[in-house]
Copies of this chain bind each other. A is one copy, B any other.
Amino acid sequence: MPQYNPPLRDLKFVMHELLNVVDELKLLPAHAEVDADTINAVLEEGGKFASEVIAPLNLSGDAEGCKLDKSSHEVATPKGFKEAYKQYVEGGWPALSCDPEYGGQGLPVLVNQCMYEMMNSANQAWTMYPGLSHGAYEALHAHGTPEQKATYLPKLTSGEWTGTMCLTEPHCGTDLGLLRTKAEPQADGTYKITGAKIFISAGEHDMAENIVHLVLARLPDAPEGSKGISLFVVPKFLVNADGSLGARNPIFCAGLEHKMGIHANSTCQMVLEGAVGTLVGQPNKGLAAMFVMMNAARLGVGNQSLGLTEVAYQNAVAYAKDRIQMRALSGPKAPDKPADPIIVHPDVRKMLLTARAYAEGGRALATYVALQLDKALASDDEDERKAADAEVALLTPIIKAFITDNGWIATSHCMQVFGGHGFIHEWGMEQFVRDSRINMIYEGTNTIQSLDLLGRKILANNGATLKKFGKKIAEFVEEEGVNESMQEFVNPLADIGDKVTKLTTEIGMKAFQNPDEVGAAAVDYLRVVGHLTFAYFWARMAKIALEKKDSGDPFYTAKLATARFYFAKLLPETAGLIRSCRAGLSPLMEMDEALF
């Protein structure tokens, strides 16, 4: 069975050495008192919960899956899941970064980000139950009425209730404008909602006493398309005025999907048969309200693959040190053994280092974005809030798509290190691959992310946000330009920065002629910009490692070696991507649809 050790040293490095989060948080009134000891203590305790409570349930949960009782519509989660959730609630974990007004601990988002990375490493399927609650919490927090907030937020904060997002229908996922679920206004101000939803993660389960569904539906006479969608909160059990649970609301699980991965999460077909809900936000503005939840969810999905990359790496390293097979081409390295441990073989190291560089690079980027999110939420300076918000918006599709694509590559490499054993369930490696695959799809496919990045976040404002972020990179390059030992990092960083600038302009020009050029370029483009962000953070991490390399702490030796690996072996991928991207639209459109 796979093991998991919370990467506390690297989490602390990113927080305290790379990003100096405590100093940054001091500038935010709500978090001015947060000190390093508090953050570290939370991470240490959180790491124990992840590695000791939920990691041991990952493999068994995958084998067992969820079971629907069709007569009662109740779903049983795998053995141990309920109990672990009870412990999670008792530990106060759901409240970590929630609003103190509703019982939350008010810690920065970035602490929650790190906690979630560890939980995702330990058990992605389990972590989705509380993870989706947090999205519902955020949508209600931002758009709920005072009554809705009073009714739902304390229970979501405590974790006594969980939440869902009910968006997708059988005929529409990406294109929510097509959705058909209907909401009929009632005399008492509530709505009766009728329709069918699919792919509802954690839509039904036995871990909490109530489930708070956020449901997209159409009001009567709503405009067609995406401008006629409203958001409703629809609890599994209606809630009485005193907060106690009332009648069962007719929102039922009609079926569970049989999936490639995340078997232990219940992916439900939900049927609403006149379920009672209340409107969240403005009529017909449901998509905007839902996007609060969706943006958080997109960051959360990138974080899922970050977690899987880390845990896959750890287990592949352990195997590569233990498994002996063949001799190094350069001669025996363990002459006392019948063969060398496979970690002596360059390609095994390449697979391991790929996963390591993607995990550590992803952690740096994701934590950075979480810090910007804290600024966007809690700064008392409006300009800073806006700037931080724009940067989060820019980097969200990169976190979602680049980190999940990397996770697919990395988990597959780590599985490959195990040879035939990697394909066998009991080793746990193939589960990481299967679980990671959904992350490239849900909360907006990675193609949709790339269109969001290139079309909406970059070209729509003439690259202004990208330029701002690019300026940070340029300043770093300028500063380190005189530092001889940093040349091996800042030169390729400057180079890829220049190439992104040029590429962006080129695509922008072509898109004037034909907007489909954006769709042709977007996926390659996102991956190039993803590498730009990783190169930036790897160069910054290399700088710290160089400064401390004589400290005697091997952590910095490893960091420097991983940075060098990243620049030598992973960043070069951009050379091919840029060429492919520049080849443009016509090779994709030449063939008539009928000829496919």
A365 interface residue per 8 A CB criterion: no
Q: Which of B168, B420, B520, B577 contacts A420 (CB 8 A)?
A: B168
A87 interface contact, C-beta 8 A? no
Question: In residues 300-355 of chain A, which contact B (Cβ within 8 Å)?
Answer: 317, 320-321, 324-326, 328-330, 338-339, 341, 343-350, 352-353
Structural contact, A260 and B434, CB atoms closer than 8 A: yes
Within the complex, the shortest CB–CB distance from A433 to chain B, in Å, comes to 7
Task: Tell me which residues from 558 to 586 in chain A have a Cβ below 8 Å from any Cβ of chain B.
Answer: 558, 561-562, 564-565, 568-570, 572-577, 579-580, 583, 585
Question: Is A205 close to B, CB under 8 A?
Answer: no
Contacts of A437 in B (CB 8 A): 412, 415, 423, 430, 433
Contact partners of A352 in chain B: CB under 8 A? 596
Q: Which residues of B contact A562 (CB under 8 A)?
A: 591
Residues of B with C-beta under 8 A to A172: 325
| Across-interface contacts of A412 in B (CB, < 8 A) | 408, 437
Contact A425 B260 (CB under 8 A): yes
Most buried by B among A329, A424, A450, A574: A329
A574 to B572, Cβ gap below 8 A? Answer: no
Q: Which residues of B contact A70 (CB under 8 A)?
A: none
Per-position 1/0 for A342-376, Cβ under 8 A of B: 01111111101100100000000000000000000
Smallest CB gap from A584: residue in B? B568
**Does A561 contact B420, Cβ atoms closer than 8 Å?**
no
Q: Which of A178, A412, A572 has the most CB of B within 10 A?
A: A572
Q: For A261, what are the chain B residues with a Cβ–Cβ distance below 8 Å?
A: 423
One of A97-105, A288-296, A441-449 contacting the partner: A441-449
Are B580 and A577 in contact, with the CB atoms below 8 A?
no
User: Interface size (A, Cβ < 8 Å)?
Assistant: 100
Q: 1/0 per position for A491-521, CB-CB distance to B under 8 A?
A: 0000000000000000000000011101110
Task: Flag whether A173 is at the interface (Cβ < 8 A).
Answer: yes
A356 to B590, CA, bound (A): 14
Chain A positions within 8 Å of B, measured between CB atoms, are 63, 168, 172-175, 177-178, 198-199, 257-261, 317, 320-321, 324-326, 328-330, 338-339, 341, 343-350, 352-353, 356, 408, 412, 415-416, 419-420, 422-426, 430, 433-434, 437-438, 440-442, 445-447, 450, 455, 514-516, 518-520, 522-523, 554, 557-558, 561-562, 564-565, 568-570, 572-577, 579-580, 583, 585, 587-596
User: Given known contacts A175-B339, A423-B260, A437-B430, is B565 in contact with A587 (CB within 8 Å)?
Assistant: yes
Tell me the complex Cα distance, A552–B562, Å: 56
Does the CB pair B593–A564 fall under 8 Å? no
Residue in chain B with minimal CB distance to A259: B423
The distance from the CB of A595 to the nearest CB of chain B, in whole angstroms, is 4
In-complex Cβ contact of A576 among B348, B577, B596 (8 A):
B577
* A and B contact pairs by CB, cutoff 8 A, 8 listed: A259-B423, A260-B424, A329-B518, A349-B589, A353-B587, A423-B441, A565-B591, A568-B580
Given the interface pairs A438-B423, A580-B572, the reply to whether A326 lies near B175 with Cβ below 8 Å is: yes
Q: Are A321 and B593 in contact (CB under 8 A)?
A: yes
Name A350's closest neighbour in chain B (CB-CB): B588
Contact: A441 with B422, CB < 8 Å? yes
Contact between A519 and B346 (Cβ–Cβ < 8 Å)? Answer: yes
Q: Which B residues touch A350, using CB under 8 A?
A: 520, 523, 588
Q: Which chain B residues lie closer than 8 Å to A320 at the CB level?
A: 596
CB distance from A319 to the nearest CB of B (A): 11
Complex contact B595–A347 (CB within 8 A): no
Contacts of A426 in B (CB 8 A): 258
For A589, list chain B residues within 8 Å (CB).
346, 349
Is B433 within 8 A of A416, CB to CB? no
> Which residue of chain B has its CB nearest to the CB of A522?
B347
In the complex, A220→B344 CA distance in Å? 32
A446 vs B347: C-alpha distance in the bound complex, in angstroms? 10
Residues in B with CB closer than 8 Å to A344 are 593
List, in ascending order, chain B residues with CB within 8 A of A341's CB.
593
How far is A260 from B595 in the complex, measured between Cα atoms in Å?
34
Q: Check A595–B561 contact: CB distance below 8 A.
A: yes
CB-based contact A519/B593 at 8 Å = no
- B595/A325 in contact, CB under 8 A: no
> What residue in chain B is nearest A593 (Cβ atoms)?
B343
Chain B contacts of A339 at CB under 8 A? 175, 177-178
Inter-chain contact B591/A558, CB cutoff 8 Å: yes
Minimum Cβ distance to chain B for residue A337 (Å): 10
A430 touches B353 (CB 8 A): no
Tell me the nearest residue of chain B to A331, going by C-beta. Answer: B515
Contact A330 to B515, CB < 8 A, known contacts A564-B590, A596-B352: yes
